[in-house]
Amino acid sequence: MVLSSGAPVSGKKYTRNVAIVLWNGAEILDWGGPAEVFQAAASFGSTDDSPAFHVYTVSKTREPITSQSFIEVTPNHSIDDAPRPDIVVLPGGGVGSVRKDESFLSWCTSTAKDAEIALSVCTGAFVLGDAGLLDGKEVTTWYGAIDGLAEAFPKATISRGRRFIDNGAVVTTAGVSAGIDGALHVVARLLGKHVADRTAEYMEYRWAPEPYLGKDYPMLNPSLDDKGRRAQLAGICNADENFDEAIQVDEAKPVSSN
């Protein structure tokens, strides 16, 4: 479903690359949850023929990996041929194999540092820690790994009981299903609350953002030009069967994304 038309603000590239990084032992929902969020939001946040996200999987090689000991996954790319990601997702489970692999860890480090957003789920935070991206930040991870994260990275402030914590370029989440919340937060931040709400609705996921965060989400997609925002608002009216209002909005003066 296309919710908007128009062009990206200032002619910037609209479609963001989202790399889902995989390795043997990675927890299925750790990476599958965010992958579902970004792939669904790619459609709900699309403009003209441009999806909001291009989602793909990456591992050290293109050889199949085994996720959670029983499901075989063939990555779309290796670290040698993967497109440069704007968003990189680092799941938990089996992270020791990455942390002990110099070339794989080096790629994860440089990629996370260069990305617009690095999102860790569960013990994927340890990979960000090895990259030096947790120092001086408030972060979280799966409850069973909190003490280990605090011990391994004493320069970080480790918070318990948080679904996710946003540090701008670094977003860490708690375990397993918490990655869905973190990914929906990123979608709301980048594309507006309406796209995040439609994504959660499609997934039949009960998303309840914290009020202190929700109040700062733009409602309309801030990445679009005014024509796109008008079309998106008209689409909202149309979905509510307010057809006359939809026409008026589409022909109205510029609208704010908030």
Host domain of residue 54: 14-218
Q: How far out from the chain centre does Cα 186 lie? A: 5
Average pLDDT in the 208-226 region? 89
Interval 109-119: pLDDT, tens = 999 999 999 99
For residue 57, being part of any structural domain is answered with yes
Say if 101 falls within a structural domain. Answer: yes
Region 24-43: mean pLDDT is 98
The amino acid sitting at 48 is D
Q: Are residues 30 and 139 in the same domain?
A: yes
- Report how far residue 206's alpha carbon sits from residue 212's, in angstroms, rounded to the nearest whole number: 18
How many other CB atoms sit within 10 Å of the CB of residue 61? 12
Which of the 8 DSSP states describes residue 28?
A: H
26, 146: one domain: yes
Burial classification of residue 76, based on how many CB atoms lie within 10 Å of its CB (0-12 exposed, 13-18 middle, 19 or more buried): middle
Sign of the alpha-carbon torsion through 177, 54, 61, 186: negative
Q: What is the CATH number of the domain that holds 160?
A: 3.40.50.880
Q: Among 201, 218, 235, give the residue marking a domain's end.
A: 218
Instruction: Say whether both 133 and 180 belong to one domain.
Output: yes
Q: Answer whether residue 214 is part of any domain.
A: yes
**DSSP reduced 3-state for 66:** strand
Same domain for 146 and 245: no
- Whether residue 2 is contained in a domain is answered as no
31 band by pLDDT with thresholds 50, 70 and 90: very high
Tokens of 122: 């569960």
Sequence-distant (6+) residues with CB within 8 A of 201 are: none
Q: Considering Cα of 219, then 225, then 227, then 231, what sign does the dihedral take?
A: negative
Mark whether 164 and 195 lie in a shared domain. yes
State whether 121 and 163 are in the same domain. yes
203 and 233 co-located in one domain: no
Which position has the higher pLDDT, 248 or 215? 215
258 and 188 in one domain? Answer: no
pLDDT in tens, 149-188: 999 999 999 999 999 999 999 999 999 999 999 999 999 9
156 and 231 part of one domain? no
Q: What percent of the chain stands above pLDDT 90?
A: 76
- 91 pLDDT tier (thresholds 50, 70, 90): very high
| Phi, psi (deg, nearest 5) at residue 157 | -100, 115
Q: Is pLDDT above 80 for 244? A: no
Number of folded domains that form the chain: 2
The pLDDT tens digits for 61-82 are: 999 999 999 999 999 999 999 9
Pairing of strands 164-166, 16-21: unpaired
Per-residue pLDDT, 12: 74
Q: Specify whether the CB–CB gap between 258 and 219 falls below 8 A.
A: yes
Residue 236 lies in a domain: yes
Mean of per-residue pLDDT scores for the chain: 91
CA distances from 170 to 30, 167, 197 (A): 16, 5, 22
Domain assignment present for residue 80? The answer is yes
Residues 166 and 236 in one domain: no
What spatial distance separates the first Cα and last Cα of the chain, rounded to whole Å? 22
Which helix (H) or strand (E) segment is 16 a member of? strand 16-21
Question: With a threshold of 0.85, does the pTM exceed it?
Answer: yes
* Residues 147 and 197 both lie in one domain: yes
State both tokens at 58. Answer: 């990456």
Side-chain half-sphere exposure of 167, counting CA atoms within 13 A: 22
Pair 154, 172: CB distance under 8 Å? no
191 is a domain residue = yes
120 and 194 assigned to the same domain: yes
Question: Looking at the DSSP assignment, which residues form a beta bridge with residue 72?
Answer: 66
Using 50, 70 and 90 to split pLDDT, how confident is the model at 58? very high
Task: Say if 3 falls within a structural domain.
Answer: no
Edge-to-edge order in the sheet of strand 170-173: 77-78, 53-59, 16-21, 87-90, 117-120, 170-173, 164-166
Whether the pLDDT of residue 237 is over 70: the answer is no
The tokens describing 53, both together, are: 């996200």
What was the pLDDT predicted at 2?
Answer: 41
